Each structure stands twice: as structure tokens, then as C-alpha cells.
């Protein structure tokens, strides 16, 4: 504070650091509604009239009025601590259920012992209104399943408890786990859908159910966020046409029931998956003859929804194709040498025909030509455009190619 004399006195001035502007603490009155169905939470808002650069504290304690602690409400006491620049905190008191016909009753919240502030009000009053239509506070007792994997989209959990309401909402503590939707099933059951982002951290999370205007209930550590599986590769490579061949998907974090899928092309189908360990899955795969040749991503998903993608982790090779056979027409009961032409043939190739037709001594002369001996049973029926299938060996990914170029006559 500065005092300045007028010019007639020489305009002298003096300054004194002697004025303090105190931060004021106040609490507002409330009117909670409660019925006979269950308790509600009454929240007193305690405020600072302006932000403060230092921590501000104040003690609080409930005080009986016409409402009595233990029968009308649960007593509460403690110390509120306002971090710097925080202007509002709340004190929650449980109001116990009562009969609709009961008269309104009141209790107080007394403030005392302020530090770095002064009291603008020393007491706030809660006037309890009894109304059987009042919605009670929820009580959350647990949830199933109790895990969600990092990366999980739309993981569905069932929450168990009592006094749930159609307006009840659900939240999860920490970052990266988001409630997408909440379905009210009945007073004891809520069903929620969660997304666990790839940036979520593994570990326990609190789950809270809140019914607006009535209160909330938290189940501490009820939900565990688990690490996502991570595929790092798969072998051996298969070729187009490979049928029900086993490959091993390698990685980390696999759990029993983990399922891989191949992404980025078409025609690669998973027939079955066997869990070997957290680092390996044995997968039976079929590759269509028309499958896309090239690199595929592998996506592995655990039962808890945790998932990640391994980019370009697997390569599908080109299998053989069958274009023609010379001669194209063979008599029933005959055995003779033939030449099969196409693409992608390798050493160790085998040739298969329809029922009653057998190929032996198959030799891949080069990638476009196979010589073999065909034998047709005497009882084999006639036909045209019958299939011939060429199967490459494991070294070429068990690729298969089929061409309809066989004719059988009398």
C-alpha cells in the first residue's frame, strides 16, 4: 500500500507491504432426495473465491441437526486440500434410505481450521427430502470377464451389483480404456463395450458406476489391462493351392485361445490354431489357388481382445499352373507317357488325376514342363475336361495347380 501527500506537502510518498487480500472458503447448501430403495450420495461443493498460488486446506465434519448420524446419514470428517490454482472440491456424505412419509430433516457440514485462506461460511446445510421416486446410489460388486487386452476393440464386459438404473454410466480409471456403450440389463446388471487403445498401459484399473444425482460406486482394481500379443513372423512360406498345411506363427504374449488372421490379400484361410506357448502358435492354413501372391500382415487376437498387427510378416508364393496335357485324350485301360505343360513346376513334383487315373514317374524337366506316365483303369468312365492337379513339394510351399485338360474315351 502506498500513501502520497499532495504538492503542498512536497508530494512525498511512502510504501508499506501491509495489506493482505485473503482467499475466502465457502460451502453451499444442498437438498438431497432419498427414498426407501437405497442410499444416495450428497455432495457438498466447497469453493475458493479465487485461485491461489499455494496449497489451501480446510477441515470439515458433519454435524447433527434434526437428522442424526448413523440413522439418517453416515458421518464424515477430514481435511480438504486444494492444490494451487484449484478452486472447487467436494465432500460426499451418504444419506441413508427413509420412508416417503418422513418429514424433511437436516444436518450440517462444519468448516474449520483454514490454512492460507479465511472462512466465508462456517456451515453448509443439507436438507434431506424423502421421496420414494428418488433413484438410489448404485453399488458395483464386480465384473466379468475381468480383463481387457491392449488393442481390444469393443470388448464386452458384464458389471454386477445392485441398484443400477437406466441412467447409470460407467467409467474406467487411467488413460487408453474408453467405454463405448453401456446397456442397462436390470438393477443388478450392466453390459458395457470397451475399447483399449494401443497406447493404454497394462495393469489394474478402477471401474466406476455413476447414477446422475444419486451417487457412484467404484470397484478398485476390478479390471486388468493385459499386454497385447505381438506376432513377429511365420514359417514356412506356403504357395497358392497349398491345402491344410501347418505353419508356426512366432511372437510374444500369446494366450490360450489366441487366433491369427492373414490380412492384406485374399485366399489365405486359417483352418485351426493350436496354442503351443506364449511365443508360438501352430496354425493349419489353406491357400486358395486364386490367392493373392505376395506379402500378408498377421493379426493375432487373444481371447481378452488384445491384438496387434505384424506388417508384411508372411509371404505367399506362386504355385504351379496346369495349361495342357499331350496327348489330351487317353483310352480306358491304357498306360502311356504324357507331357504336362504349365508354369511354376519344381523338382519333386507329383501329379494327381481323378478317380481311376494314376500318374507315376513325374519329372519336372523345367518350370514349364513335366513328363509322367498315366494309367487309366479299364472301368474308369469316359469324360472330357477332367482335372489334373500338380503338387509342388514342401521346398516350394506345397503349391497346387489344377487344369481341366484330360479326356478319357473308350
The answer to whether 229 and 308 are in contact (CB under 8 A) is yes
Cα separation, 374 vs 321, in Å, equals 19
Residue 7 falls inside a structural domain = no
CATH number of the domain enclosing 304: 2.60.40.10
What's the structural domain count of the chain?
Answer: 4
DSSP 49-60: SS--SS-EEEEE
Cα separation, 54 vs 293, in Å, equals 66
Task: Give the dihedral sign, CA 161/163/169/171.
Answer: negative
Q: Is the pLDDT of residue 17 over 60?
A: no
Those residues whose C-beta lies under 8 Å from the C-beta of residue 313, and which sit 6 or more positions away, are 231, 232, 233, 234, 295, 296, 297, 298
Residues 35 and 114 in one domain: yes
Residues 75 and 143 in one domain: no
Span 342-373, pLDDT tens digits: 999 999 999 999 999 999 999 999 999 999 99
Q: Is the pLDDT of residue 19 over 50?
A: no
* DSSP β-ladder status, 307-317 and 238-239: parallel
Residue 398 DSSP symbol: T
Residue that has been written with the C-alpha cell 489391462 in this structure:
225
Cα separation, 39 vs 70, in Å, equals 12
Q: Is the pLDDT of residue 18 over 60?
A: no
The answer to whether 67 and 74 are in contact (CB under 8 A) is no
pLDDT at position 342: 97
CATH number of the domain enclosing 112: 2.60.40.2030
Cα separation, 158 vs 399, in Å, equals 46
Higher pLDDT, 104 or 79: 79
Q: Is the pLDDT of residue 395 over 50?
A: yes
pLDDT average, residue stretch 103-112: 94
pLDDT at position 2: 60
Of 375, 374, 388, 376, which is closest to residue 345 (Cα–Cα)? 388
How far CA 309 is from CA of 76, 317, 355, 395, in Å, comes to 51, 21, 43, 27
Domain C-terminal end among 226, 248, 270: 226
Q: Is the pLDDT of residue 101 over 70?
A: no
Q: Is the pLDDT of residue 257 over 70?
A: yes
The answer to whether 260 and 251 are in contact (CB under 8 A) is no
Containing domain of residue 165, as a range? 139-226
Of 395, 402, 396, 392, which is closest to residue 288 (Cα–Cα)? 402
Those residues whose C-beta lies under 8 Å from the C-beta of residue 268, and which sit 6 or more positions away, are 262, 285, 286, 287, 288, 291, 296, 316
Cα separation, 264 vs 295, in Å, equals 8
Residue 400 is placed in which grid cell?
497346387
Residues 76 and 173 in one domain: no
Residues 165 and 94 in one domain: no
Domain C-terminal end among 274, 295, 317: 317
Residue 257 falls inside a structural domain = yes
- Angle at CA 198, nearest 5°, toward 194 and 203? 70
Residue 280 falls inside a structural domain = yes
Q: Is the pLDDT of residue 321 over 80?
A: yes
Per-residue confidence at 384, pLDDT binned at 50, 70, 90? very high
Residues 197 and 114 in one domain: no
Per-residue confidence at 54, pLDDT binned at 50, 70, 90? very high
Residues 171 and 115 in one domain: no
Of 321, 327, 320, which is closest to residue 407 (Cα–Cα)? 327
Residue 3 falls inside a structural domain = no
Q: Give me the percent of the chain exceeding a pLDDT of 90.
A: 87
Q: Is the pLDDT of residue 289 over 70?
A: yes
Q: Is the pLDDT of residue 60 over 80?
A: yes
pLDDT average, residue stretch 124-128: 95
Residue 53 is placed in which grid cell?
498460488
Residues 190 and 221 in one domain: yes
Cα separation, 298 vs 317, in Å, equals 16
The answer to whether 341 and 369 are in contact (CB under 8 A) is yes
pLDDT at position 43: 92
Q: Is the pLDDT of residue 410 over 90?
A: no
Cα separation, 258 vs 196, in Å, equals 17
Residue 334 DSSP symbol: -
Q: Is the pLDDT of residue 47 over 90?
A: yes
Residue 16 falls inside a structural domain = no
Residue that has been written with the C-alpha cell 508499506 in this structure:
16
3-state SS, one letter per residue, for 35-51: CCCCCEEEEEEEEECCC
Q: Give the chain's mean pLDDT.
A: 93
Domain C-terminal end among 292, 317, 342: 317
Residues 246 and 261 in one domain: yes
Residue 5 falls inside a structural domain = no
Residue 340 DSSP symbol: E
Q: Is the pLDDT of residue 95 over 80?
A: yes
Residue 42 falls inside a structural domain = yes
Residue 371 is placed in which grid cell?
513328363
pLDDT at position 206: 97
Residues 28 and 120 in one domain: yes
3-state SS, one letter per residue, for 220-280: EEEEEEECCCEEEEEECCEECCCCCEEEEEEEECCCCCCEEEEECCCCEEEEEEEEEECCE
Residue 181 falls inside a structural domain = yes
Residues 168 and 184 in one domain: yes
Amino acid at each position: 500500500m502506498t500513501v502520497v501527500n499532495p504538492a503542498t506537502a512536497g508530494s512525498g510518498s511512502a510504501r508499506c507491504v501491509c495489506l493482505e487480500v485473503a482467499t475466502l472458503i465457502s460451502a453451499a447448501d444442498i437438498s438431497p432426495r432419498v427414498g426407501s430403495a437405497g442410499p444416495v450420495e450428497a455432495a457438498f461443493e466447497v469453493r475458493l473465491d479465487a485461485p491461489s498460488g499455494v496449497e489451501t486446506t480446510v477441515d470439515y465434519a458433519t454435524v447433527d441437526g434434526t437428522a442424526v448420524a448413523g440413522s439418517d446419514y453416515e458421518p464424515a470428517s477430514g481435511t480438504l486440500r486444494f492444490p494451487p490454482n484449484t478452486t472447487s472440491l467436494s465432500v460426499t456424505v451418504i444419506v441413508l434410505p427413509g420412508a416417503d412419509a418422513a418429514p424433511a430433516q437436516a444436518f450440517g457440514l462444519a468448516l474449520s481450521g483454514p490454512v492460507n485462506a479465511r472462512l466465508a461460511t462456517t456451515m453448509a446445510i443439507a436438507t434431506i427430502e424423502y421421496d420414494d421416486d428418488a433413484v438410489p446410489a448404485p453399488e458395483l460388486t464386480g465384473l466379468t470377464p475381468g480383463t481387457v487386452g491392449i488393442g481390444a476393440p469393443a470388448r464386452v464386459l458384464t458389471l454386477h451389483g445392485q441398484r443400477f438404473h437406466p441412467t447409470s454410466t460407467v467409467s474406467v480409471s487411467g488413460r487408453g480404456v474408453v467405454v463405448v456403450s453401456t446397456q442397462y440389463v436390470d438393477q443388478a446388471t450392466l453390459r458395457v463395450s470397451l475399447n483399449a487403445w494401443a497406447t493404454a498401459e497394462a495393469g489394474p484399473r478402477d471401474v466406476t458406476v455413476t447414477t446422475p444425482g444419486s451417487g457412484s460406486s467404484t470397484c478398485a482394481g476390478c479390471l486388468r489391462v493385459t499386454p497385447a500379443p505381438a506376432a513377429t513372423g511365420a514359417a514356412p512360406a506356403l504357395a497358392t493351392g497349398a491345402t491344410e498345411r501347418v505353419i508356426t506363427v512366432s511372437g510374444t504374449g500369446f494366450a490360450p485361445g489366441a487366433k491369427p488372421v492373414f490380412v492384406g490379400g485374399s485366399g489365405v484361410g486359417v483352418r485351426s490354431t493350436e496354442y503351443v506357448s506364449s511365443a508360438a502358435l501352430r496354425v493349419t492354413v489353406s491357400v486358395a489357388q486364386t490367392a493373392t501372391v505376395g506379402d500378408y500382415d498377421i493379426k493375432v487376437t487373444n481371447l481378452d481382445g488384445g491384438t496387434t498387427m505384424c506388417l508384411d510378416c508372411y509371404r505367399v508364393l506362386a504355385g504351379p499352373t496346369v495349361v495342357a496335357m499331350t496327348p489330351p485324350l487317353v483310352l480306358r485301360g491304357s498306360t502311356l507317357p504324357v507331357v504336362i505343360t504349365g508354369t511354376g513346376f519344381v523338382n519333386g513334383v507329383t501329379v494327381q488325376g481323378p478317380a481311376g487315373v494314376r500318374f507315376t514317374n513325374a519329372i519336372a524337366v523345367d518350370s514349364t514342363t513335366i513328363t509322367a506316365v498315366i494309367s487309366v483303369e479299364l472301368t474308369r468312365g469316359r469324360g472330357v475336361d477332367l482335372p489334373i492337379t500338380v503338387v509342388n513339394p514342401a521346398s516350394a510351399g506345397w503349391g497346387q495347380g489344377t487344369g481341366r485338360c484330360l479326356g478319357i474315351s473308350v
